Structure 1
Amino acid sequence: MKFFIDTANLEEIRKAKEYGLIDGVTTNPTLLAREGADWKKQMELICKEVDGPVSLEVIGLKADGMIEEARELVKYGPNVVVKIPMTMEGMKAVRHLADMGVRTNVTVCFSAAQALLAAKAGAAYISPFIGRLDHLSQRGMDLVEEIVAIYGNYDFETEVLVASIRHPLHVVEAALAGADVATVPFKVLFDLAKHPMTDLGIESFLTDWKKVFPDG
């Protein structure tokens, strides 16, 4: 499974890179706004910082507008993936962009039917938002399992990019379901390494070491 980091913060991206934990980045207008910087400059810096895919989002609602925005976004780097909303206008844009050789990430997906349309349209990625479904008392991971099964039935090349991840268990469940990518917030990425028994084990080893080698 590939890990993307869901952030527009350069410090977080660089720190995650130091540990060799990320394969790409996903951003959105909200994340970019939080940085309080020139968003165009911020996108440019992110694309230069990361070797893997960087998802940048359009804000238009009509296909023609999305396509024009996409033409501008891909200028930030060859690793740009254009985030397109899951609407019929969005699917029209995805098909046009796919024919142009532009990779797209269809976002705000909440059903297997939507994921099927995105794959048919030629999306490079589909982003089911599992955390938001969980908040509505629906099991978001059920959607991931359905999409993985459908894509497997027809050998779609669209990758399943699990989004709206809230905690480490979401990542583990996504991996068990066979998702291709998990895009995670910075904190969740590092929470994956934590376990109280690991801390206790290390503490125990160090205590025993001091008993055997008190001066070591």
Structure 2
Amino acid sequence: MTLTVEPPTAQASQLPLRIAAETTPTSLWNDSADLDELTQAISWGAVGATCNPVIALTVIKNHLDRWVPRIRELAEEHPTAGESELGWRVVEELSVEAAELLEPAFAEHGGVNGRLSVQTDPRLHRDADALVEQAVRFSRLAPNIIVKIPATRTGIAAIEEATYRGVSINATVSFTVAQAVAVAEAIERGFARREAEGLPVGDFGSVCTIMGGRLDDWLKAWAAKNRVLIEPGHFEWAGVAALKKAHAIYTERGYRVRILSAAFRNHLQWSELVGGDLVVSPPFDWQRRINENRIPVDPHAIERPVDPRAIDTLRARVPEFTKAYDEDGLAVEDFERFGATVRTLHQFLDADAQLDGVVRDVLLGPA
């Protein structure tokens, strides 16, 4: 499947995403490294993108004519490599190609934007040293690479060390204000160690993702399991509320890292954040829908509080929301046991296994 890329036009300049990207501090990133989609997103103002096993799996399936022969070539070039190693080589190639498209934005924004996120292998989530070593290696694939590390207890330690070693971080598997604060403080500790040794800290572009839609999903699943009914629509504000609160804390404390909104389930996870110095990273189809529906651009949306009735109801009826919304709602040692974390790690690990399976079918043929 090949996307027909629309060239920039005067009409395109009036699209909501483009308006927000050009007139507010809010940065647009594309939640995919598919080159066709990224090229189109750049025309709408995107200045960043993401690759991971889930995305690589989708790109391979959508472009079998290209990637099946390339996997076979990689197998010839690396005759002892297993399917996992070959699959991750595809992830790396996809990432480098997408990073090249973002080089102009990287130069224009002084390294703050123009970044391509590469996710560390989710199978390393219990090994901080392994996460750091892979992060350092990925960061050398291209000058504008930013590396995803999960915001678990192990990941927080890896984030500090990788920052110290010069890696720009995108904290992932992150859903709560407590995780966002722990990530920011870990990055600041890494910076402090660099500064103590006279190493530069001005060329980083680190972000902390809050997967707002996945938080909403978890709260709905918890409520269903516990037979809790609340007013329809309140759940759709949970992720937005956490994102707004984390952004306010970052702004107040001057952390040298930005919040990133990801895992879209509704347009509020973009439209309610416009105006903030943060990143929104919608999947490509969500970008198309936002533009097609001409969602209004409010440059002060980030300052608008979430309806207190939604916050109060969620607090009273769904204690998992309080864990996500309060700065002290979770201790670091509880990050990896939070329901949204468990569900997401399972999905990332499953995608890794599916990527192995695709490579295995290319090498051996279908069973």
**Kindly, what percent of the aligned residue pairs are identical?**
27
CA contact (8 A) 1:162 1:179 kept: no
Q: Find 1:41's aligned residue among 93, 100, 115.
A: 93
Q: Find 1:126's aligned residue among 196, 208, 217.
A: 208
Structure 1: distance between partners of 2:293 and 2:53: 33
Q: Find 1:141's aligned residue among 207, 217, 240.
A: 240
Instruction: Give the RMSD, CA atoms, in angstroms.
Output: 2.0
More strand by share: 1
Structure 1: distance between partners of 2:54 and 2:186: 26
Which amino acid letter does the alignment assign opposite residue 282 of structure 2? V
- Give the C-alpha shift of residue 95 in structure 1: 0.9
- Give the C-alpha shift of residue 76 in structure 1: 1.6
Structure 1: distance between partners of 2:116 and 2:58: 18
Residue by residue over 1:32-74, the C-alpha shift from the partner in whole angstroms, topping out at 9 and shown as x without a partner, is 1222233332122111222211110002221110111112211
Q: Find 2:161's aligned residue among 96, 105, 117.
A: 96
Residue by residue over 1:137-175, the C-alpha shift from the partner in whole angstroms, topping out at 9 and shown as x without a partner, is 341111011101221231111101011123433210122
What is the correspondence of 1:170-189 to structure 2 with a 5 Å cutoff? 170-175=269-274, 178=276, 180-189=278-287
Matched, 1:150 2:249: yes
Q: Equivalent residue of 2:292, what SS?
A: coil
What is the correspondence of 1:97-116 to structure 2 with a 5 Å cutoff? 97-116=162-181
Matched, 1:16 2:41: yes
CA contact (8 A) 2:52 2:91 kept: no
Which amino acid letter does the alignment assign opposite residue 182 of structure 1? V
Matched, 1:54 2:116: yes
Residue matched to 2:343 = none
Q: Find 1:160's aligned residue among 237, 259, 267.
A: 259
CA contact (8 A) 2:247 2:278 kept: no
Q: Find 2:151's aligned residue among 86, 93, 97.
A: 86
Residue by residue over 1:93-112, the C-alpha shift from the partner in whole angstroms, topping out at 9 and shown as x without a partner, is 11111112211011121211
Q: Which runs of 5+ in 2 are unaligned?
A: 1-25, 61-66, 68-89, 104-113, 189-205, 221-234, 296-367
Structure 2: distance between partners of 1:42 and 1:196: 31
Matched, 1:25 2:107: no
Q: Equivalent residue of 2:274, what SS?
A: helix
CA contact (8 A) 1:57 1:83 kept: yes
Q: Equivalent residue of 1:121, what SS?
A: helix
Q: Find 2:289's aligned residue among 187, 191, 197.
A: 191
Residue matched to 2:345 = none
Structure 1: distance between partners of 2:57 and 2:147: 18
CA contact (8 A) 1:110 1:129 kept: yes
**Normalized against structure 2, the TM-score is what?**
0.50
- Give the C-alpha shift of residue 117 in structure 1: 0.5
Structure 1: distance between partners of 2:150 and 2:129: 13
Kindly indicate whether structure 1 or structure 2 has the higher relative contact order, using CA contacts under 8 Å at least 6 residues apart. Answer: 2
Q: Which runs of 5+ in 1 are unaligned?
A: 198-216
Which amino acid letter does the alignment assign opposite residue 56 of structure 1? V
Which is worse superposed, 85-94 or 33-42? 33-42
Which amino acid letter does the alignment assign opposite residue 178 of structure 2? A
Which amino acid letter does the alignment assign opposite residue 175 of structure 1? V
Q: Equivalent residue of 1:157, what SS?
A: coil
CA pair 141-22 structure 1, distance change in 2 beyond 3 A? same
More helix by share: 2
- Give the C-alpha shift of residue 8 in structure 1: 2.3
